[in-house]
């Protein structure tokens, strides 16, 4: 059994232990209406994220199997992030004005189109797929959360080839469309405002509220490093002596990353019971930056690099619920989707610039370290701003 399988087994055991230990401290939810809301949201959101994550381990290696060069692969990814950057703001306004449920259905159709293009080993067709995928990603990381806040108050690739996970994603997305249409009610942000006013209002909130501004800076810095990591871990963990990197168990590695994210989500529960989010996230971001430094200092020791990647993914697991919670407190509901997509503009721009420069692996991960360390500093400033103050009630002016 190699180090990848050992890591997967160990992380699985840790997740199981954390699951059962944390279950003892979770209070039952007596509110049946709230419980039904949770099930309705999670049913849809898990399908959406599952469709996205199924593709994660195989995008890079699929492009390589089609004979794409490193520069072409970077360009494909760059187009995806550029698409997300350019379309994100307008998609956010669309969600706030015309409905988050409708926007989530649009996400599914866009992603289905993106998955279909993966069957064609032609650069131009794959390029179209990246454009569709970039637009879909903007919706995934804004409209679903906005809907939820408002309503509240691998493995087949080894057998069927690298394109198989994308076909499974299509199945997930079709089921997703049905679930959204049957289970979700529609809700809006400011449905009476036009696009210009929505964008201007969102921009004014970001510029006038330091906490919202800092949230955007931290999110952009952290998630840009996260996306660069997602694109670069495959070539970094592949021994240079291998011609065909299919010898790397991409699905097992990615599954281990997801187990690490789960561990982080369990740790989030423990941390929030003892500390304020603004406080402990400073240390989480520092650990994340240190994790990204390992490929720079000792890239030849693959075991250490792999362990540091697990550490980073644990930080990702803490980051997501932490920032979803803080956005719920600080970001106004009526322009939530618009603001969240504005946050993604610098995020996508950073990733786009890094990819198009085609830096060496060491330089790329050094930039990730710098980005995460800067996010840590910004988080410290946010902590100081919110220290000794109680959180406001979450904004809930949804219609």
**In 99-122, alpha helices (H):** 100-117
Q: Report the distance separating Cα 310 and Cα 207, nearest Å.
A: 36
Q: Which residues have a Cβ under 8 Å from the Cβ of 124 and sit 6 or more positions away?
A: none
Ramachandran region, residue 14 (left: φ > 0; alpha: ψ -120 to 50; beta: rest)? alpha
Residue bearing the bigger pLDDT, 269 or 200: 269
Quick one: tokens of 148?
A: 């939820």
CB contact at 8 A, 386 and 282: no
Do 64 and 245 contact (CB within 8 A), yes or no?
yes
| Confidence class for position 392, pLDDT limits 50, 70, 90 | low
Total-model pTM: 0.76
Closest among 135, 167, 175 to 54, alpha carbons compared: 167
pLDDT tens per residue, range 326-342: 988 898 877 777 787 78
User: What residues have CB less than 8 Å from 172, skipping those under 6 apart?
Assistant: 47, 48, 50, 51, 54
The pLDDT tens digits of the residues spanning 251-270 come to 889 889 989 999 999 999 99
Res 160: pLDDT: 65
Please, which pLDDT band fits residue 31 given cuts at 50, 70 and 90?
low
Residues near 186 by beta carbon (within 8 Å), at least 6 away in sequence: 99, 100, 101, 102
pLDDT at 92 over 70: no
Does the pLDDT of residue 158 top 70, yes or no? Answer: no
Most confident residue range from 39-53, 63-77, 346-360, 362-376 = 362-376
- Rounded CA separation 349/207 (Å): 19
Higher pLDDT, 288 or 242: 288
The CATH number linked to 325 is: 1.20.1250.20
Per-residue pLDDT at 107:
86
Q: Is residue 284 part of a domain?
A: yes
Whether residue 11 is contained in a domain is answered as: no
Nearest-angstrom CA–CA distance, 274 and 242: 47
The answer to whether position 4 is within a domain reads no
- For residue 368, report the phi and psi dihedrals to the nearest 5 degrees: -60, -40
Residue 26's pLDDT band (boundaries 50, 70, 90)? very low
* Helix, strand, coil percent values for the chain (each to nearest 5): 80, 0, 20
What would you report as the CA-atom Rg of the chain, rounded to the nearest whole angstrom?
Answer: 20
Structure tokens at 271: 């941390």
Domain of 165? 33-386
Inside any domain, residue 397: no
Mean pLDDT over 372-382 rounds to 97
Of the pLDDT bands very low, low, confident and very high (cuts 50, 70, 90), residue 71 is: confident
Query: What is d(CA 392, CA 383) in angstroms, rounded to the nearest whole number?
Result: 15
pLDDT reading at 246 higher than 60: no
Check residue 28 and give its pLDDT. 47
Domain presence at residue 223: yes
Query: Which residue carries 């360390």 as its tokens?
Result: 373
CB 202 within 8 A of CB 333: no
Going by pLDDT thresholds of 50, 70 and 90, the confidence category of residue 313 is very high
209: which residues sit within 8 A by CB, 6+ positions away?
Answer: 330
Q: Kindly state the DSSP code that residue 275 receives in the 8-state scheme.
A: S
* Average per-residue pLDDT for the chain: 83
Pairwise CA distance, residues 185 & 181, whole Å: 8
Joined together, the tokens standing for residue 53 give 């994550």
Has residue 10 been placed in a domain? Answer: no
Q: What is the DSSP string of 376-391?
A: HHHHHHHHHHHTT-PP
CA trace torsion 262, 296, 229, 6 (10° rounding):
-40
Mean pLDDT over residues 40-49, rounded?
A: 83
Q: Which of 50-54, 121-125, 283-287, 308-312 has the lowest mean pLDDT?
A: 50-54
**Tokens of residue 202, six digits:** 């969102």
In a domain, 19, yes or no: no
The encoded tokens of residue 16 equal 């199981």
Q: Is the pLDDT of residue 288 over 90?
A: yes
Determine the Cα–Cα distance for residues 353 and 111; give it in Å rounded to an integer.
Answer: 24
pLDDT digits (tens, 9 = 90+) for 105-134: 888 999 999 999 999 999 999 999 999 998
* pLDDT recorded at residue 99: 79
394: in domain: no
Give 295: exposed, middle or buried? Use CB within 10 Å, 0-12, 13-18, 19+. buried
Work out the burial of residue 321: count CB atoms within 10 Å of its CB; fewer than 13 is exposed, 13-18 middle, 19 or more buried: middle
* Count of domains forming the chain: 1
Residue owning tokens 């989530």: 104
Determine the Cα angle at 340 with ends 220 and 318, to 5°.
60
pLDDT at position 1 = 53
Decide: 313 and 322 in contact? Cβ < 8 Å. Answer: no
């Amino acid at each position: 059994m190699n180090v990848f399988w050992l890591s997967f087994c160990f992380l699985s055991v840790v997740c199981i232990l954390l699951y059962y230990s944390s279950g003892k401290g979770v209070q039952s939810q007596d509110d049946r209406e709230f419980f039904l809301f949770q099930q309705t949201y999670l049913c849809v959101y898990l399908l959406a994220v599952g469709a996205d994550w199924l593709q994660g381990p195989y995008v890079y290696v699929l492009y390589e199997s089609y004979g794409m060069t490193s520069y072409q692969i970077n360009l494909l990814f760059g187009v995806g992030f550029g698409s997300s950057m350019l379309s994100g703001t307008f998609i956010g306004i669309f969600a706030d004005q015309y409905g988050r449920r409708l926007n989530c259905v649009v996400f599914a159709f866009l992603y289905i189109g993106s998955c279909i293009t993966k069957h064609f080993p032609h650069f131009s067709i794959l390029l179209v797929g990246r454009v569709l995928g970039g637009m879909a990603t903007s919706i995934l990381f804004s409209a679903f959360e906005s809907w939820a806040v408002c309503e509240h108050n691998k493995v087949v690739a080894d057998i069927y080839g690298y394109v198989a996970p994308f076909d499974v994603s299509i199945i997930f997305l079709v089921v997703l469309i049905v679930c959204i249409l049957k289970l979700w009610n529609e809700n809006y942000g400011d449905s009476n405002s036009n696009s210009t006013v929505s964008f201007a209002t969102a921009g004014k909130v970001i510029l006038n509220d330091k906490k919202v501004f800092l949230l955007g800076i931290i999110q952009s810095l952290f998630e840009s490093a996260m996306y660069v990591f997602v694109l670069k871990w495959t070539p970094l963990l592949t021994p240079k002596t291998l011609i065909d990197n299919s010898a790397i168990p991409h699905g097992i590695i990615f599954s281990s990353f997801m187990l690490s994210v789960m561990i982080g989500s369990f740790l989030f529960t423990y941390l929030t019971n003892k500390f304020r989010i603004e406080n402990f996230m400073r240390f989480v971001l520092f650990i994340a930056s240190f994790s990204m430094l390992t490929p720079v200092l000792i890239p030849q020791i693959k075991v250490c690099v792999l362990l540091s990647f697990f550490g980073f993914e644990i930080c990702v697991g803490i980051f997501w619920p932490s920032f979803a919670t803080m956005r719920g407190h600080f970001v106004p509901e009526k322009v939530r989707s618009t603001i969240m997509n504005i946050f993604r503009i610098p995020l996508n721009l950073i990733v786009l610039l890094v990819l198009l420069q085609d830096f060496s692996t060491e330089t790329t991960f050094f930039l990730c370290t710098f980005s995460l360390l800067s996010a840590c500093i910004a988080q410290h400033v946010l902590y100081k701003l919110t220290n000794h103050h109680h959180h406001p009630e979450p904004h809930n002016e949804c219609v």
